């Protein structure tokens, strides 16, 4: 088999067939040299409104007429300034400062560094990080350290730092809250990092807003910083702008990336509360926040994000999310009581269900077979182990979704 020069992500080149070549994207659809595919996973969770959303693409064109990358230390520009103001206004209360980077992983790395910097500058030796079982926060060494350990990162284990792990919340989540209360009481915990309400890569695992609120209360009682990784959940996925909005809570630090530009171009932001910014604000230059990405606050990406923000302000987004959630619920219901599937679940625009076969786990035999079947049916889906999920762009129609659910149904029959 001839192998291309490209080394693809999460791809076993020895066993996977050569991928289709994408020639065009449009709304919920991806055109390839082998036919059209419905993008059932928003191109790995980044595309929110739809591919090539017209206002966002226009903003990119316009911005590129006047600006490209400029150094962001010692210089600033209007797209970044305006976007920061808008993000502070739209984010849960108390998040007052915006630090730009270029991916979800960097947004999380920045968050962890801000948290540790905060405690150092506060003269407190806290440095332990609490995490939730089955979490995913990125693929860099630091973000892998705070994520679930397993086959993906076993080789890099010697490089990773230790963390305190909370059990994933089941039922009313009391066991998780109790475990965190005990940890938090130790006075050693610098921060708790979590994916609010939906653990994406961990298998679209969902927990109740009450648990999130309970964790926030424990953070407050014991002065532990809460880092909300909204990289996947932000920008409407859970049915509200932010997953934190369901619980009516604000984290001390919030990470956003994927949907920030509507999914058109890479950009990330880490939002921090005033006290975290103030801990770094000093005539003592050792307190500077020593971090930068080369492409920090890329003006074209900021312009795309501003167009995304404008859509959220001008369009009936909540109505659109509610409608998509209803379309999803109606279709997921066809699998109720179906012995082939279990754990049917939904959070806003996301649905998931587990195929009741095989040994489970990411390397489950069914994964690649399912993917191939869906592709043959014209639907792009990437099951996580035996978990099949739909996380579509918001422009998807009921008819489009019918195609995706029919493909899931027909897989269950072969
Ligand atoms: C995708 C994801 C990341 C990493 O984002 P990249 O842009 O791929 O680096 C971090 N956290 C969560 C919750 C994610 O879903």
Provide the b/e sequence for 247-256 (b: ≥16 CB within 10 Å): bebbbbbbbb
Contact 355, 381 (CB under 8 A): no
Q: Average pLDDT for residues 14-35, to the nearest whole number?
A: 96
Minimal-distance CA residue to ligand 1 atom 8:
104
Beta strands in 82-217 (DSSP E): 95-101, 128-132, 164-166, 189-194, 198-199, 205-206
Q: Dihedral sign for Cα 140, 141, 146, 151, please.
A: positive
Q: Among 43, 45, 47, 138, say which to mutate for ligand 1: greatest number of ligand atoms within 8 Å of CB.
A: 138
Banded pLDDT at 362 (limits 50, 70, 90):
low
CATH number listed for the domain at residues 22-53+316-410: 3.90.1150.10
Is the predicted pLDDT of residue 361 greater than 60, yes or no?
no
73-87, 228-242, 355-369: the lowest-pLDDT one: 355-369
- For residue 3, the model assigns a pLDDT of 80
Residue closest to 269 by CA, chosen among 212, 230, 308: 230
Sorted by sequence, the CB contacts under 8 Å of residue 82 that are 6+ apart come out as: 302, 306
Is the predicted pLDDT of residue 280 greater than 70, yes or no?
yes
Check: pTM over 0.85? Answer yes or no: yes
149-163, 289-303, 361-375: the lowest-pLDDT one: 361-375
Distances (CA, A) of 303 to 58, 236, 327: 10, 20, 32
Minimal-distance CA residue to ligand 1 atom 6:
104
Cα separation, 182 vs 189, whole angstroms: 11
Cβ 142 under 6 angstroms from ligand 1: no
In the sheet with 35-39, reading across from the earlier edge strand, the strands are 22-26, 29-32, 35-39, 379-380
Cβ 105 under 6 angstroms from ligand 1: yes
Cα(109) to ligand 1 centroid in Å equals: 11
Cα(102) to ligand 1 centroid in Å equals: 11
Quote the percentage of the chain above a pLDDT of 70: 97
**Angle, alpha carbons 266-12-145 (nearest 5°):** 55
- For residue 135, the model assigns a pLDDT of 98
The rounded mean pLDDT for the chain is: 96
Cα(34) to ligand 1 centroid in Å equals: 29
Span 211-225, pLDDT tens digits: 999 999 999 999 999
- For residue 193, the model assigns a pLDDT of 99
Provide the b/e sequence for 289-312 (b: ≥16 CB within 10 Å): beebbebbbbbbbbbbbbbbbebb
Q: Average pLDDT for residues 198-218, to the nearest whole number?
A: 98
Q: DSSP character for 128? A: E
Cβ 137 under 6 angstroms from ligand 1: yes
Residue 262 falls in which region: left (phi positive, over 0), alpha (psi -120 to 50) or beta: left
Say if residue 360 carries a ligand binding annotation. no
- For residue 131, the model assigns a pLDDT of 98
Say if residue 156 carries a ligand binding annotation. no
Span 91-138, pLDDT tens digits: 999 999 999 999 999 999 999 999 999 999 999 999 999 999 999 999
Is the predicted pLDDT of residue 414 greater than 80, yes or no?
no
Residue closest to 231 by CA, chosen among 190, 192, 191, 198: 198
Residue 172 falls in which region: left (phi positive, over 0), alpha (psi -120 to 50) or beta: alpha
Is the predicted pLDDT of residue 412 greater than 70, yes or no?
no
- For residue 115, the model assigns a pLDDT of 98
Banded pLDDT at 358 (limits 50, 70, 90):
low
Q: Where are the domains of the chain?
A: 22-53+316-410, 54-314
Contact 321, 236 (CB under 8 A): yes
CATH number listed for the domain at residues 54-314: 3.40.640.10
Is the predicted pLDDT of residue 413 greater than 80, yes or no?
no
Q: Among 43, 45, 137, 384, say which to mutate for ligand 1: greatest number of ligand atoms within 8 Å of CB.
A: 137
Q: Average pLDDT for residues 243-260, to the nearest whole number?
A: 98
Cβ 229 under 6 angstroms from ligand 1: yes
Q: DSSP character for 18? A: P
CA 76 to chain centre: 27
Cβ 138 under 6 angstroms from ligand 1: yes
Banded pLDDT at 2 (limits 50, 70, 90):
low
Is the predicted pLDDT of residue 359 greater than 60, yes or no?
no
Say if residue 43 carries a ligand binding annotation. no
Contact 358, 365 (CB under 8 A): yes
Q: Average pLDDT for residues 44-56, to the nearest whole number?
A: 98
Span 151-180, pLDDT tens digits: 999 999 999 999 999 999 999 999 999 999
- For residue 367, the model assigns a pLDDT of 81
Reading the block at residue 43, the tokens are 């191109």
- For residue 19, the model assigns a pLDDT of 95
Ligand 1 nearest-atom number relative to CA 199: 13
- Name the residue with tokens 């990470």: 255
CA 253 to chain centre: 15
């Amino acid at each position: 088999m001839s192998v291309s020069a490209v080394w693809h992500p999460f791809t076993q080149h020895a066993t996977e067939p050569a991928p289709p070549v994408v020639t065009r994207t449009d709304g919920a659809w991806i055109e390839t040299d082998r036919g059209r595919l419905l993008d059932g996973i928003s191109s790995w969770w980044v595309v929110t409104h739809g591919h090539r959303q017209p206002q966002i693409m226009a903003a990119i064109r316009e911005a590129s007429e006047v600006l490209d990358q400029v150094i962001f230390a010692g210089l600033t520009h209007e797209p970044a300034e305006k976007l920061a103001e808008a993000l502070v206004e739209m984010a849960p209360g108390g998040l007052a400062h915006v630090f730009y980077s270029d991916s979800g992983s960097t947004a999380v790395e920045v968050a962890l560094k801000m948290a540790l910097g905060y405690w150092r500058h506060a003269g407190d030796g806290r440095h332990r990080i609490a995490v939730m079982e089955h979490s995913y926060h990125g693929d860099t060494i630091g973000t892998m350290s705070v994520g679930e350990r397993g086959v993906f990162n076993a080789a890099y284990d010697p490089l990773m730092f230790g963390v305190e792990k909370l059990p994933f919340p089941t039922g009313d989540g009391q066991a998780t809250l109790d475990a965190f209360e005990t940890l938090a009481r130790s006075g050693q915990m610098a921060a708790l990092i979590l994916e609010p309400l939906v653990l994406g890569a961990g298998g679209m695992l969902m927990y109740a807003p009450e648990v999130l609120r309970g964790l926030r209360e424990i953070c407050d009682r014991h002065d532990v910083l809460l880092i909300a990784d909204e990289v996947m959940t932000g920008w409407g996925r859970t049915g509200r702008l932010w997953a934190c909005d369901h619980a009516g809570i604000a984290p001390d630090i919030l990470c956003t990336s994927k949907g920030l530009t509507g999914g058109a171009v890479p950009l990330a932001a880490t939002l921090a509360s005033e006290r975290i910014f103030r801990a770094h604000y000093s005539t003592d230059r050792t307190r500077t926040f020593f971090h930068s990405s080369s492409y920090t606050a890329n003006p074209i990406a900021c312009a795309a994000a501003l167009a995304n923000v404008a859509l959220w302000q001008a369009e009936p987004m909540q109505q659109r999310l509610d409608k998509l959630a209803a379309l999803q619920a109606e279709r997921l219901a066809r699998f109720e009581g179906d012995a082939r599937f279990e754990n049917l679940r939904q959070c806003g625009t996301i649905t998931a269900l587990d195929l009741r076969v095989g040994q489970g786990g990411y390397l489950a035999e069914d994964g690649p077979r399912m993917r191939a079947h869906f592709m043959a049916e014209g639907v792009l889906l990437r099951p996580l182990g035996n978990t099949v999920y739909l996380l579509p762009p918001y422009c998807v129609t009921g008819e489009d979704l019918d195609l995706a659910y029919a493909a899931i149904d027909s897989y269950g029959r072969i």
